[in-house]
Structures are given as structure tokens and as C-alpha cells.
Structure 1
Amino acid sequence: MQLLPGVRSVVVPTDRLEVHLVEYGPEDGVPVVMVHGNLSTGRFFEHLSPGAPEGYRIVAPDMRGFGDTESLPLDATRGLADWADDVAALLRALGIERPVHLLGWSTAGAAIVDFAIEHPVASLTFLDPVSPYGFGGVRADGTPCFPDWAGSGGGIVNPEVVRRIAEGDDTTESPFSIRSVMRTAYWLESHTEPREDLFVAEVLKTVTGADNYPGDATPSPNWPGTAPGTTGIINALSPKYCNWTRVVDLDPKPPVLWTHGAEDSVVSDTSMQDLGTLGELGYVPGWPGADVFGSQPMVSQIREVLGRYGAAGGRVRTEIVPGAGHSPHLEQQELWQSVFWEFVGAAERGATTTIG
């Protein structure tokens, strides 16, 4: 699908890999970097560009393994640090030296914290981020349900989803085709997405297999029989490797915006992709019970960690977006944009009053 007016598609060689991105705005503008999540690309942010205030430069890269960026293996034992380092390499290649406003959607919520640990940022925006304790197999306090972190990692992904992506299935013939998954998980079923064809085509560029999506897996004697491997994006999200509670220790503390769809079924206290929830509902046999492997309270975990960030002196604005699932920037675009650009503008002005 053709790019929107004013949006540029660029391939940038860096010292780590060749990165494809879409960007908008003047090259000397205030940099706003938008990092997509799992099974998406930078073009999931393209529709926001025409509504951006003047003077901002939006940079939305495709992360390794997705879109048109060079495909390289992802070291899951580093959590999302490979993604963070790729963003840093891109900014060096673009000659962007000033602190950027950094947004991370879903998976990338962990990546932007990894970036901020190593580099100064002007602000952090979490858009329906993965829990600070990663995805799957942990209790409310972030401790694992089993010592080997069983119930998280590459082995928990339905292989039918992977197969249909690899085969380029753009239909709705199966509930496991990416178009069907989008309609039930990315946004609410009541939402009609005008750019759905583009998004399906973008996700079908995903590199499948052990190196990227979903990654490898390790057999486990614990339910459901699989534990994290060491490569690929879903292992990088395992709580064994993914933990962004370190955000509390940032010094100095950039202002933080957390926006979340009120009806998100992916990152939720009862996520429909969490095996604790699916086991309780009877979709995964052998569930050992809530006292052993209950639903991971993901939103509550985000709220608790960002609460600690605020108590430690950080400024946090929270916006729970009504009528939205996992993609409030798509489902409630006008509302979400007004909140986001108000926040970024205040951060850019160096606002010192408490937000939210």
C-alpha cells in the first residue's frame, strides 16, 4: 500500500544491521522514536504522522525479524536488549545525538526501558506494554510458577499461527490466520480497521523459526511441558529474561506516559494469551490450578511498578483508553493522539508539575 503523504520509507545501514524505517517531519525536528511490538512493523504507526504537530521528526523502524529490516537472530537471553541496541545503532547512523522521546508498544515496552538504562531519553511512553515481569509463568510478585519458568517462551505459541504466517495466509479461513488474530487480539471486534490489508501484508513479512518468531523451546517436566529456549522474540519476552522493573532505578527519571486499552485481551490481568487463563478455561489440559499457575495479573503489575517509579520521584501519567483493546492508537486514534502529543509537548518544555 502506498505511503501516506509526507511519509518517507528509508533503509539505513547501521553498525549492527540494515534497518528499514518510515519517518515523517523535518530531519532537524525533535526526534520521536516509535518502536512496534511483536508481529507488527513501523507502518503500524504511519497513520499518526499527518496528525503530528509541526517541528517533530517521527522515526518508526522495523525491528529485526520483522518488516523490511535485515533479518538477524535475536539473543533472547538478553531480553529485549538486542532491540534496544538496534535502536541506538539506528540513532547513531541517523546522526541523532539529543535525547529522544521514545514510545514502545507491547513487546517494545521492555525494549525502551533497556534503551533508557544505557542512554538518556526525553520521555518514555508505554503503549499497552508487556508486563514488567515479562509474559507468562509468573505470580503477582514476578516469581516463577516453576523453577524453569515453564509456561513461557517459544513453546507456548500455537504452531498453527506460525505455519500460516510462514505460508503467507492472508485469509480468514482459520481463527489462527493473522487476519483473524488481528480481529480478535489487536483490536476489538467492533473496530473496523481501514488499513487492515496493509497490516496483514506487513506481518506476513515476519521471519519465522527458531531465530525470531517464535524462537526455540526447552522440554519441561512441569505444566504445560515447555520452558524457554534461548533465541527468538517469544523467549525474549519470557520472565526468565525479560524484566523492566529496573525502570524504577533510572536516574534522572524521564517523564512517563502509560496508555492502555481498557479492554485489552493481550496484556490483561486475565490475558487470553496467558496459559494460566487458558488453563482455567479448559483450553489447555492438565492445568494444575490457580494456586500453582494462575493468571498473570499483568496490568496490576504495570500499575504497581509505575507506582514505585512515581514514589521514587518520577512523573507518571496514566490513561486507560475506553473502547480500545491492544491498539488504542488505532482504535481511538484521535483521543490517543491528543493525549500523546500533549504529554510529549509538556516533556519537551521541561514541565515540572506532576502529571496525572
Structure 2
Amino acid sequence: MTDTLLPGIAATTVTTPRYSAAVLERPSASAAATVLFVHGNVSSSLFWQPLMLSLPPEVRALAVDLRGFGGSQTLPVDATRGVRDFSDDVISVIDGLALGAVHLVGWSMGGGVAMQLLRDRPELVSTLTLVSPVSPFGFGGTAADGRLLNADASGTGGGGANPDFVARLAAGDRSEDAPTSPRAVYRSSYVAPGFHSEFEDIWVESMLTTATGPDNYPGDAGASEHWPGFAPGGRGVLNTMAPTVFNTSDIVDLPSKPPILWVRGAQDAIVADGSFFDLNQLGQAGIIPDWPGEEVAPPQPMVSQTRAVLDRYTENGGAYTELVFENCGHSAHLEHPDRFRDALVAQLAGGAL
């Protein structure tokens, strides 16, 4: 079995009124700043370890496992609340550890969790760093301005997961033999082609901690009269990001706006203006048959949507910086760790990036 904890990282369990949370920490003697990392979908806090270890010694670095991931308690995910089961869980850890305001970092789905937390408890966020975040309008099913393409957001949510990938997660598949194995998905989608890491086995173990089923990953699905024939359900992980229940675009109206750093990879295969995890993009490419066309089911411009919301955030008195890393996929903190660390440290200090 792979030893998943790196030297210098301590693991603990924080019991809150909501759940038992697994938390990793790189302690700091002075704790001039506290950073809290939130992982993405089909992953865990293990992915943050090298970055945590690389931060200056005066930074206290913590990473929390969401429910049903890593070492945290597996509980049902109520997707009718959007990502609030997750964001409320993170809030319970912040409150339980009496952290006060933190420098919050969210990756992918964790970026959506971080935006929701900012929306609901802005006093807990000193700065916000988003790493390849889900669009503020959710994942799939919306036009450029965030409007639903149809009322039930067909083609989004739990019905969009590849069943063989889910089965291999549940079976603990560590192989690289099939394109739907977790290791192959990591190599093809989490990072840019050709990227290699000495920690790959740890990343695979992290992915395999994902609790599967209708209450967790991927969730359930309902029927739809619209192409491709299914709509989001009310349970489980993927449904939390359906645009019928997830929308954090109103962070632009917060009276107090912490600075936002948005980091993304130019070769991101998951969050992009033409993401091949968006079923409308797959239909346009002919991979899913009977696509009804651009007028009815256009691919979601995820990056453009995020930029438009953050531009409004700036117009309303906030500030953000967008950094695009070349030769980088969905995981800038893994693929370009030194550059990412430097950008984050500058964010903590309020300096120029």
C-alpha cells in the first residue's frame, strides 16, 4: 500500500456538529497567515501536500476533506442545496478550529465550494484563490450569460458520469490498462499530456477514496424530454453543480470583496470554453448522437463565464487577477508548483503577482 502522507504533514480528525472531517496540516510556529485548501471532485486533501510543504514557515497550511472524500465521514450529499452541504462542512471546520478569517484556496469543484462559502460567510475569507474553478453558473447547461438552456438543465448532473469510471473507482482500480481507469483519467484530464509526477501513486490513492453511489459520486439522475434524455437528480456530487441549484454569480454584490486570484491551465480538459466533460461539446463533436445543434444545446463557455463574473466583481469595487499557465492542464498547483506557490504567497501578502 502506498504511504500517502508526506513527511512534515500531520493528519487529524476534527469532529463538528455536521461531520467528522479529516484535516491535513503543515504546522507553523508563528502562524502569521492561515491558508485553508479545498480539494476538487474525485480527489482529496492529499493533492495539496507538496504545495503545503513549500509555503513559507510563517504560513499555517490546512487542507480539509469534504464529506465522502479522503478520510472524512461519508454522509449523503443533498444536491438540492447546491454545494452547500460541502461549504457548510468547511465552515464547520473553520468554526470548530476557531480559525477566523482564512486565505481560502479552492480547486475545481472546490472552487465552487469556496465561492459558495464566500457568498454565505464572507467574514471568513481574507483572500480567495480559485484553481481551475467550476463556472459561477455551474457545470453545463447554460448559455454564455448564465441562462439555463432549458428549464431542467438536461445533460447535466449525475447522469453524465461514465459508469465504467465509477465502477473502477468503487473497485479500487489502480491499473492503467483502460482509458476509464482512475490513473488514466488523471493522466488525460487532471494534468496536461506528458506531465509526470513522483507523487502519481498518491494522487491515484486520493482519487480512490471517493465514496460512490447515488448519495455521493456521481449521484442520481432524472428523465428529461430534452436531449440527451436525462436531467439532474437531487442527490450526490455531480448534481450539486447543476445550474438549476448552483449559482454563485452574486458574489459581485457582496458589500466586502476580498481579492481574488484565478489560476488556470491553458490546456485544461475539464474546465474550458470547449470542455469535453460537457455533454453539449461531446454532441457537437459527434461523440454523442442526435445533438440538436448550436441553437438548442451549445457548449458552455465556462472560462468566459468566470471572467465575465469576475469583471463585474471588479466593476463593483473588488479586484481579481487571472493567471494562465501554459503547458498546464487542470492542476496548476501540481504541474507548475513553484510558480503557483509564488503567486499564492504574493496573494497572501497583497503584493503584485
Contact kept? 1:33, 1:100, Cα under 8 Å: yes
The equivalent of 2:145 in structure 1 is 141
The equivalent of 1:228 in structure 2 is 232
Task: Give the Cα–Cα distance (whole angstroms) in 2 for the partners of residues 297 and 243 of structure 1.
Answer: 15
Which residue of 193, 197, 207 corresponds with 2:197?
193
Matches within 5 A, 1:264-303: 264-303=268-307
Task: Give the Cα–Cα distance (whole angstroms) in 1 for the partners of residues 148 and 250 of structure 2.
Answer: 18
Matches within 5 A, 1:102-251: 102-119=104-121, 120=123, 121-251=125-255
Contact kept? 2:314, 2:320, Cα under 8 Å: yes
Contact kept? 1:20, 1:69, Cα under 8 Å: yes
Structure 2, unmatched stretches of 5+, are none
Which residue of 16, 35, 39 corresponds with 2:42?
39
Asked if 1:316 corresponds to 2:295, the answer is no
Contact kept? 2:4, 2:205, Cα under 8 Å: no
- Aligned-partner SS, 1:279: helix
- Aligned-partner SS, 1:10: strand
The equivalent of 1:23 in structure 2 is 25
Contact kept? 1:165, 1:204, Cα under 8 Å: yes
Contact kept? 2:21, 2:66, Cα under 8 Å: yes
Matches within 5 A, 1:255-270: 255-270=259-274
Task: Give the Cα–Cα distance (whole angstroms) in 1 for the partners of residues 197 and 298 of structure 2.
Answer: 33
- Normalised by the length of structure 2, the TM-score is 0.96
Task: Give the Cα–Cα distance (whole angstroms) in 2 for the partners of residues 6 and 171 of structure 1.
Answer: 29
Give the letter for the 1:265 counterpart: A
Aligned-residue sequence identity (percent) comes to 41
Give the letter for the 1:79 counterpart: G
Contact kept? 2:219, 2:238, Cα under 8 Å: yes
The equivalent of 2:69 in structure 1 is 66
Structure 1, unmatched stretches of 5+, are none
Asked if 1:85 corresponds to 2:88, the answer is yes
Asked if 1:51 corresponds to 2:54, the answer is yes
Task: Give the Cα–Cα distance (whole angstroms) in 2 for the partners of residues 2 and 154 of structure 1.
Answer: 29
Task: Give the Cα–Cα distance (whole angstroms) in 2 for the partners of residues 32 and 205 of structure 1.
Answer: 23
Task: Give the Cα–Cα distance (whole angstroms) in 2 for the partners of residues 57 and 281 of structure 1.
Answer: 46
Which residue of 233, 237, 256 corresponds with 1:252?
256
Distance 1:146 1:27, change over 3 A: farther
The equivalent of 1:8 in structure 2 is 10
Per-residue deviation, residues 249-287 of structure 1 (Å, max 9, x unmatched): 122110110001111111000001011111111111111
- Aligned-partner SS, 1:293: coil
Distance 1:106 1:134, change over 3 A: same
Task: Give the Cα–Cα distance (whole angstroms) in 2 for the partners of residues 118 and 186 of structure 1.
Answer: 29
Give the letter for the 1:18 counterpart: S
Contact kept? 1:32, 1:59, Cα under 8 Å: yes
How far residue 168 of structure 1 moved from its aligned partner, in angstroms, is 1.0
How far residue 309 of structure 1 moved from its aligned partner, in angstroms, is 0.4
Number of aligned pairs?
348
Per-residue deviation, residues 51-105 of structure 1 (Å, max 9, x unmatched): 1112111110111011110000111111111111111111122122x21100110
How far residue 245 of structure 1 moved from its aligned partner, in angstroms, is 0.3
How far residue 22 of structure 1 moved from its aligned partner, in angstroms, is 0.9
Give the letter for the 1:3 counterpart: L
Could you list the runs of 4 or more consecutive aligned residues of structure 1 that deviate by over 6 angstroms after TM superposition?
Answer: none
How far residue 2 of structure 1 moved from its aligned partner, in angstroms, is 4.8
- Normalised by the length of structure 1, the TM-score is 0.95
How far residue 343 of structure 1 moved from its aligned partner, in angstroms, is 1.1
Per-residue deviation, residues 129-167 of structure 1 (Å, max 9, x unmatched): 001110011111111222211010100111111111111
How far residue 27 of structure 1 moved from its aligned partner, in angstroms, is 6.8
